[in-house]
Every structure is written in structure tokens, then in C-alpha cells.
């Protein structure tokens, strides 16, 4: 039995970033940028007005009223050069005429006749309300380093520079195989001894949220031939996740099938509750592997125990970070710290991850989500996923039988 930290080190050894693909900018959200992006032009591309008002050729202190020489709206260009005593009526975003020394907001002016304005405010500074060409960034300057995971707010900034295709790291493809003779589809009513295949949906959603691409291999029944056949397909992916069949039951055939499929075991069993029977290994690709689905030289294979919460916890701790590493993500911290909102009685034993919710304080209007207070939920054990309907985090408890007191600092993993 190994420790969680050892498992991370062992798994991390096999991380090889997926190759680069070019995609449309909008498709790149959630994916890691593979090349540096530079500006194709100055920003702003021309000196522009920041307000609706009047570009002036001399300061108001020297000028009783200004003669309006033309009107320039956004999308048009000025044709007249300003000299002292002249103004151009200009709209926000329109190019500044030659000779302007600043723009006075329309609210600070009054029309004196059809062709003239007077300024009502005494405040004026040279260059006011003008954003000079290249003030934000100049042409060919670096906009963003490679390695960033793009978010929606990056898209607007990149689109400004005409970047409509970007190189990103390919998404990690993950095959999902759930196992068990007892499983029926979730839209069916289970017969005697049967249960719904909730793990299939759980794992597929977790892959989606981690930014991976799930391939569902269906339910493998608890016999060697069915499992071997489905494992063979699963091994054509970057990652194969198998749920169930890795513990000590008579029909827990997964480790045997993996060995037979030439998957090399790295570890089996971990000091973790729930999740002790976790299995991990790798299979080096041979030339028969399908080049369309498999571009990594190795498939990472995770055998997760089938109890739904064991599946969830093992996926969260070990599979999710690896999906995000293969697709170019940096190593991220797993643990956060918070404090308990109530006493918790720990029965001792294996390192335990217990579902907790963040205490929210609607009275202050602050959703106390980060750096939070955590309330342990009344959880029944590894088959109880109902408690997770209200859970925000998994809090780690370890050591001998003891009471963890309210206010005590704890480590947690975010769900």
C-alpha cells in the first residue's frame, strides 16, 4: 500500500504533453496555448478620442470660443488640421485630427452659435482624453505567453489583434470502461440484485469538466473475454479509466485482464479512504495502435474501485490532474486550507477524504466559498453519493481516533 504523494510522483513520471493542434479562437477556451501570441498592430491603431466632445487646437485659457472645423464620428477620419482657436467635434473612438492638444468633453462645452462653442470648465491638461496610438501595446509586442489555459476573457483581447486561429495542446482522450454484471442503464429500473450504472455518467462528466474527451466503452461484464475485448479498445487512448473489479472479490478480474493486455502495473492499493484498491499502470503502444485516437506513446491506465464515492475520490485525486497535465496544464496545487465549522469525530485509520460543504453566510452577502469554513456532512460511506449533492469539498482527516474541533485548520480538495 502506497501513500497518496507517492502515487502522484509515480503517475507524474508518465506525463508527456499531447501534441499541438490549431483551432478556431473560440474553440480554444479551456485549452492550453502552445505558442506565444504577438500583436499584429499597435493598440490603439490610431490616436483616438476617449470621450464624445471637441478636439481643440489651443487650450481654453487662451481661447474665448472655438470655431468648429468639422465633425468626425467613429469609423471616419478627420480631414482638417487644427490650429489655435479651432475645434473638431469628435465622438468616442474616432481618430484625433492633426494639431489637437486634447479633447474637451461635450458636457463641459456650450454652443455659442451654429459654428462655435465655448468651454464651461476651467480644468484642462495637455493631451487629455486622447489615447495615443500604441499606448496599450505596440506592433509585434508579446501579448500572451504559451502555457496559459485560455479563458473567455482572453478571447476578446486576442480577437482585437485578428487572432482567429491559435495553436493549443490537444485535449486528452480518455476511454471509460465500467464493469459489473449487476449494472443496468440509468433509464432502466433495476431488477433484483441490480443497480444503475451511475459511475458511467459520473466519470464521463468528470472527464468533461477536466477538459478531456471521453469515449464511453460501455459496460464490461465480469468475465475475461468481455473485459479483454473492451480493454483492447480502451488502450488506444491517452488514458483508460476502468471502474469496478479491482478489489478482492471473486469476480474482480480487472488486474488480471490488464496484465494479460500487457499493461504494466505500477501500483495497486493506496492509503486512502475511500479508494484503497486503486490500481495504476501503463501500456507502451505498439505499431497496431490507431493513429487517429492515440498519439501518446503510452496509455495510462487507472483501475478505480467501483463504489461510486471511491470512484469519485480516486478520479478527483489522480485522474483529473493527469488529464489536465497531458493537455499542457501546469501542475496545480491539490490542497487548500480552511477551518472546521463544527466538531468532527474521526474513527481513525486510513487517510480519509470526507464530504463537507462550505458554510455560506447569506446575512453578510458574502458567499464564503474560498478560504472557507467547512461543515462535515453526515456521510454513510463509499456507496453514499447522495451526501455529495450538497458537498463542496473533500476534507482530509488522518491519524488515530480523535475529535477534530470547530475552528481547527484542515486541508481540503475542491470538488
In the complex, minimum distance from the CB of residue 179 to Mg ion, in angstroms, rounded to a whole number: 6
106 CB burial (10 A radius; 0-12, 13-18, 19+): middle
What residues between 248 and 267 interact with Mg ion by CB under 5 A? none
- List the one residue out of 315, 180, 306 whose CA is nearest residue 240: 315
| Nearer CB in complex with Mg ion: 192/362 | 192
Query: In angstroms, how far is the first alpha carbon of the chain from the final one?
Result: 25
- Minimum separation from the CB atom of position 183 to Mg ion (A): 8
Footprint of ligand AMP on 182-211 (CB under 6 A): 182-183, 195, 197-200
Nearer to ligand AMP, 198 or 271 (CB): 198
Closest residue to ligand AMP using C-beta atoms: 306
Binders in 361-380 for ligand AMP, by CB under 6 A:
none
- Residue span binding ligand AMP (CB under 6 A) among the ranges 285-293, 304-312, 339-347, 404-412: 304-312
Whole-number minimum distance, CB 174 to ligand AMP, in Å?
Answer: 16
**Which residue among 44, 99, 180, 355 contacts Mg ion (CB under 5 A)?**
180
Contact flag: residue 281 with ligand AMP (CB under 6 A): no
* Number of residues engaging ligand AMP in binding (CB under 6 A): 19
Does residue number 245 form part of the binding site for ligand AMP (CB under 6 A)? yes
Which residue lies nearer to Mg ion by CB, 180 or 274?
180
Cβ atoms of 219 and 183 closer than 8 Å: yes
Partner whose binding site includes residue 195, from ligand AMP, Mg ion, none (CB under 5 to 8 Å by kind): ligand AMP
How far is residue 372's CA from residue 412's CA, in Å, rounded to a whole number? 10
Question: Residue 159 has which C-alpha cell?
Answer: 480577437
Among 95, 305, 321, 329, binds ligand AMP (CB under 6 A): 305
Cα 11–Cα 275–Cα 321 angle in degrees, nearest 5: 35
**Does 307 participate in binding ligand AMP (rule CB under 6 A)?**
yes
Task: Indicate whether 244 belongs to the interface with Mg ion (CB under 5 A).
Answer: yes
- Does residue 220 touch ligand AMP according to CB under 6 A? no
Of the pair 126, 250, the CB lying nearest Mg ion is at: 250
By CB atoms closer than 10 A (0-12, 13-18, 19+), residue 11 is: buried
Q: Does 314 bind ligand AMP (CB under 6 A)?
A: no
Residue 243 as a binder of ligand AMP (CB under 6 A): the answer is: yes
CB of 179 to ligand AMP, least distance (A): 6
**Is-contact 377 357, C-beta < 8 A?**
yes
257 part of the interface to ligand AMP, by CB under 6 A: no
Q: Are 98 and 146 in contact (CB under 8 A)?
A: no
Sign of the dihedral through C-alpha 233, 235, 239, 244: positive
- Find the binding residues for Mg ion in span 284-323 (CB under 5 A): 306
Binding residues for Mg ion (CB under 5 A) = 180, 244-245, 306
Binding residues for ligand AMP (CB under 6 A) = 178, 180, 182-183, 195, 197-200, 243-245, 247, 249, 252, 305-308
Amino acid at each position: 500500500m502506497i501513500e497518496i504523494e507517492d502515487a502522484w510522483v509515480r503517475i507524474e513520471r508518465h506525463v508527456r504533453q499531447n501534441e499541438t493542434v490549431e483551432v478556431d479562437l473560440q474553440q480554444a477556451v479551456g485549452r492550453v496555448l502552445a505558442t506565444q501570441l504577438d500583436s499584429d498592430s499597435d493598440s490603439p491603431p490610431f490616436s483616438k478620442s476617449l470621450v464624445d466632445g471637441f478636439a481643440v487646437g489651443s487650450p481654453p485659457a487662451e481661447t474665448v470660443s472655438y470655431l468648429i472645423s468639422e465633425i468626425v464620428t467613429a469609423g471616419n477620419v478627420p480631414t482638417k488640421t487644427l490650429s489655435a482657436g479651432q475645434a473638431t467635434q469628435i465622438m468616442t473612438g474616432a481618430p484625433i485630427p492633426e494639431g489637437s492638444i486634447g479633447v474637451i468633453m461635450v458636457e463641459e462645452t456650450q454652443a455659442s452659435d451654429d459654428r462655435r462653442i465655448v468651454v464651461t470648465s476651467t480644468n484642462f491638461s495637455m493631451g487629455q482624453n486622447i489615447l495615443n496610438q500604441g499606448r496599450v501595446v505596440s506592433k509585434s509586442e508579446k501579448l500572451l505567453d504559451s502555457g496559459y489555459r485560455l479563458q473567455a476573457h482572453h478571447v476578446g483581447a486576442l480577437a482585437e489583434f485578428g487572432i482567429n486561429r491559435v495553436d493549443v495542446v490537444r485535449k486528452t482522450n480518455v476511454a471509460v470502461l465500467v464493469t459489473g454484471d449487476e449494472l443496468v442503464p440509468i433509464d432502466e429500473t433495476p431488477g433484483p440484485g441490480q443497480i444503475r450504472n451511475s459511475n458511467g455518467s459520473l466519470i464521463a462528466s468528470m472527464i468533461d469538466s477536466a477538459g478531456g474527451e471521453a469515449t464511453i466503452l460501455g459496460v464490461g461484464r465480469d468475465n475475461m473475454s468481455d473485459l479483454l475485448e473492451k480493454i483492447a479498445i480502451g488502450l488506444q487512448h491517452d488514458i483508460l479509466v476502468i471502474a469496478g473489479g479491482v478489489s478482492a472479490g471473486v469476480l474482480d478480474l480487472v488486474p488480471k485482464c490488464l496484465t494479460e493486455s500487457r499493461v504494466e502495473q505500477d501500483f495497486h492499493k493506496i492509503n486512502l479512504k475511500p479508494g484503497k484498491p486503486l490500481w495504476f499502470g501503463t501500456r507502451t503502444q505498439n505499431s497496431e495502435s490507431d493513429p487517429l485516437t492515440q498519439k501518446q506513446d503510452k496509455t495510462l491506465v487507472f483501475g478505480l474501485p467501483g463504489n461510486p464515492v471511491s470512484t469519485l475520490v480516486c478520479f478527483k485525486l489522480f485522474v483529473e490532474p493527469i488529464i489536465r497535465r497531458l493537455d499542457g496544464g501546469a501542475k496545480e496545487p491539490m490542497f487548500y486550507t480552511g477551518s472546521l465549522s463544527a466538531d468532527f469525530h474521526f474513527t481513525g485509520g486510513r487517510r480519509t477524504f470526507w464530504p463537507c460543504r462550505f458554510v455560506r453566510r447569506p446575512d453578510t452577502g458574502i458567499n464564503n466559498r474560498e478560504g472557507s469554513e467547512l461543515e462535515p456532512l453526515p456521510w454513510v460511506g463509499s456507496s453514499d453519493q447522495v451526501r455529495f449533492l450538497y458537498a463542496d469539498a473533500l476534507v482530509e482527516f488522518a491519524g488515530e481516533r480523535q475529535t477534530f474541533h470547530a475552528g481547527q485548520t484542515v486541508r481540503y480538495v475542491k470538488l
